[in-house]
Amino acid sequence: MKILITGGAGFIGSHLAEYFNENYEVFILDNLSTGHRSNVSFIDETHFIKNDITNKSLIQELINKEKFDIIIHLAAVVSVVETIDNPILSQKVNIDGTLNLLEANKQYNSNLKKFIFASSAAVYGNTELLPQKIESFIDPESPYAIEKYTGEQYTKLYNKLYGLPTTALRFFNIYGPRQDPSSPYSGVLSIMNSKFYHNESFTFFGDGKQTRDFVYIKDLVQAVSIVINCEESNGKIFNLGTGNQLSLLQMFEEFEKIYDKTIDYEFTEPRSGDIKYSYAQIEGLNKLGYNPKYSAQEGLKEYINYTNNA
């Protein structure tokens, strides 16, 4: 069976590619704006397409030619700050690019068994009702959040109107090996780890008391593999988290324990569009068989061990 992973050379995509490469013929579409070819060196050149999801004609030709069984759509402008600075560009990628894929599959791909769209917990905004539920009030606070919400609703609509087997997953805070700490908008744990490793000062945006639902990458892979093989998930949206919230200060303390040292830190103004408190209700995925296996402590230990010995 053939699987296409858009954004497959990035942090999350490369782990999914590695996992599915054992049993599927994996193709990757990535423009390498944030991903790295070295992340997926096990994918040969005939299965790696360096291009953009906004290239409508290329998407149509690719879908028509390969008729993928499964598509995991990760490619996006993922920086909240970047979407605030340039919402026109991010809309082209995050909304138009998603529509290009959905429409091409509707027109040219009768083989499709599952289309997974990577949405985000950012769609909830600064809701006071926790944990965040799929039925919770949606209050996007950035173009990124609006674009992710729009993408997941189009994904849902293409199931309802055209019968495409689609599922949207609202990713919470995913972390793990190959997350790039060099970007200031990378996952906060990868940046924190880099600062500890190099004995550099860490900056908290805000008071550090903001909470997140931190998900180790292997738990995400588990969830995606379950959804791919579950027809019951078609046309639905699920939270992909652990159901637990931890503050950035608590995570900083976990790094102190693992490294057996501390580093300097400072506090600065919160970033525009950032969420204060966040964690997921995951009953929907639980019912499909998903159970997170990694606690924050276990995930951090494995992540730090892998990263520092790579």
What confidence tens digit (pLDDT) does each residue in 98-125 have?
A: 999 999 999 999 999 999 999 999 999 9
Could you say which of 3.40.640.10, 1.10.150.120, 3.90.25.10, 3.55.40.20 is the CATH number of the domain covering 177-213+244-308? 3.90.25.10
Integer Cα distance of 50 and 52 in angstroms: 7
How high is the pLDDT of residue 185? 54
Contact 105, 170 (CB under 8 A): no
Of 169, 136, 157, which is closest to residue 288 (Cα–Cα)?
Answer: 169
Give the pLDDT mean for 269-279. Answer: 84
pLDDT at residue 151 is higher than 80: yes
Backbone angles phi, psi at 196, to 5 degrees: -65, -45
Q: For the chain, what is the mean pLDDT? A: 94
Residue 297 pLDDT greater than 70, yes or no: yes
Mean pLDDT along residues 164-171: 98
pLDDT at 4: 98
Alpha-carbon span 166 to 75, nearest angstrom: 16
Q: Which residues contact 145 (CB under 8 A, 6 or more apart)?
A: 80, 120, 122, 123, 125, 273
- Rounded mean pLDDT, 129-149: 93
- In this prediction the pTM is 0.94
Paired tokens of 84: 């605030």
Q: What is the CATH number of domain 2-173+214-240?
A: 3.40.50.720
Strands 211-212 and 202-205 turn out to be unpaired
Torsion of Cα atoms, 5 then 140 then 242 then 234, to 10°? -50
Q: β-strand 202-205 against 265-268: which pairing, if any? A: parallel
Coil, strand, or helix at residue 286? helix
Q: Is the pLDDT of residue 95 over 70?
A: yes
CA distance 223 to 262: 34
Determine the pLDDT at residue 127.
82
Q: Would you say residue 28 has pLDDT above 80?
A: yes
pLDDT of 261 above 80: yes
Alpha carbons 164 and 170: distance in angstroms, whole number:
19
Model confidence over 215-249: pLDDT tens digits?
A: 999 999 999 999 999 999 999 999 999 999 999 99
pLDDT of residue 183: 62
- How much is the pLDDT for 184? 54
Calculate mean pLDDT across residues 70-90.
Answer: 93
Cite the active site residues: 144
Every domain of the chain and the residues it spans: 2-173+214-240, 177-213+244-308
Alpha helices in 163-295 (DSSP H): 188-198, 217-228, 248-259, 283-288
Residue-level pLDDT at 129: 87
